C-alpha cells in the first residue's frame, strides 16, 4: 500500500514506476485502512 499527499505525487510515482494506472485503486486514507482490515484480518 502506498500513500501520496497529492495527485501530482501519485501521477509522478505511477509514471516513474511505469505502471498502468487503470490497475491501481485510489482510496482516501480512511477507506484504505478499512479495506486493509478486510483483506488482512485474521478473524471472520
Over residues 1-44, the pLDDT tens digits come to: 788 888 899 999 999 999 887 888 888 889 999 999 999 988 76
Residue 1 lies in a domain: no
Contact yes or no for 3/30 (Cβ under 8 A): no
- The kind and range of the H/E element at 33 are helix 29-40
Structural domain span for residue 22? 7-40
**Is this model's pTM higher than 0.85 or not?**
no
Contact yes or no for 26/10 (Cβ under 8 A): yes
pLDDT for the residue numbered 17: 93
Mean pLDDT of the chain: 88
For the chain, what is the domain count?
1
Contact yes or no for 3/32 (Cβ under 8 A): yes
Residue 29 lies in a domain: yes
Calpha distance 3→29 (Å, rounded): 8
Residue 21 lies in a domain: yes
Amino acid at each position: 500500500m502506498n500513500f501520496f499527499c497529492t495527485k501530482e505525487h501519485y501521477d509522478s510515482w505511477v509514471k516513474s514506476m511505469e505502471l498502468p494506472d487503470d490497475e491501481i485503486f485510489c482510496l482516501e486514507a480512511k477507506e484504505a485502512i478499512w479495506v486493509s482490515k478486510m483483506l488482512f484480518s485474521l478473524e471472520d
